[in-house]
Chain A
Amino acid sequence: GAGVSQSPSNKVTEKGKDVELRCDPISGHTALYWYRQSLGQGLEFLIYFQGNSAPDKSGLPSDRFSAERTGGSVSTLTIQRTQQEDSAVYLCASSLGRQGSTEAFFGQGTRLTVV
């Protein structure tokens, strides 16, 4: 596709349920990043993939959060046993590489609401 695509765009889930958020990066982009943004707050880094490997998972807030990437392309962020504090916009970004000279392109995000 022309840009980074995320699905669903909105997700409402009940507390305690598991959710999966999907990110389709720009074709050929080897680096993929997940961020989250709570209402009125800045962007919080979650995890970074280079190819299918995740060399930096330092931002995942708890073991309820996990992510994988397959085929060097699509990535899925899974949140188990969701809590109300997980409500936020989850943003995915991709870049051609991990070099400092490469720009990152962001999707429009998935707005997650835990009720």
Chain B
Amino acid sequence: DAKTTQPNSMESNEEEPVHLPCNHSTISGTDYIHWYRQLPSQGPEYVIHGLTSNVNNRMASLAIAEDRKSSTLILHRATLRDAAVYYCILRATGGGNKLTFGTGTQLKVEL
């Protein structure tokens, strides 16, 4: 599986936007970019995914670089409930494509 690189931790203030970066320089043309998050003492939760175009849903936005070697998860207004570990994962189009979790980014949200 192609690897992703994320900062270990980030901090944000409540009600402010948060931009979580992810580098995936070895991404292949058929890899989808997935984001999951894991709140304390819970299983991971799907956030968003995309292939080439930017994506929006009720939880977040995903901005994908034109060369697809990086992406950014955008939380438009962080709340205390968004404090979690955020994982950026590449999922291949074919094969078993197990989700391979790295260490993710621990997001801390402060008042």
Contact = CB atoms under 8 A, between A and B. Distances in A.
Interface of A: 4, 31, 33, 35, 42-43, 45, 48, 50, 55-56, 59, 91, 93, 98-101, 103-109
A48 B44 contact: no
A50 B94 CA distance: 13
A98 B45 CA distance: 18
B9 interface: no
Chief secondary structure at chain B's binding surface: loop
B78 to A, nearest CB: 22
Interface residues of B, number: 26
A100 B99 contact: no
Interface of B: 30-32, 34, 36, 42-46, 49, 51, 91-104
A98 B49 contact: no
Contact of B99 (A55, A93, A101, A108): A93
Nearest to A109: B43
B43 A48 contact: no
A100 B93 contact: yes
A103 B46 contact: yes
B1 to A, nearest CB: 10
B46 A105 contact: yes
B101 A43 contact: yes
B97 A100 contact: yes
B46 A56 contact: no
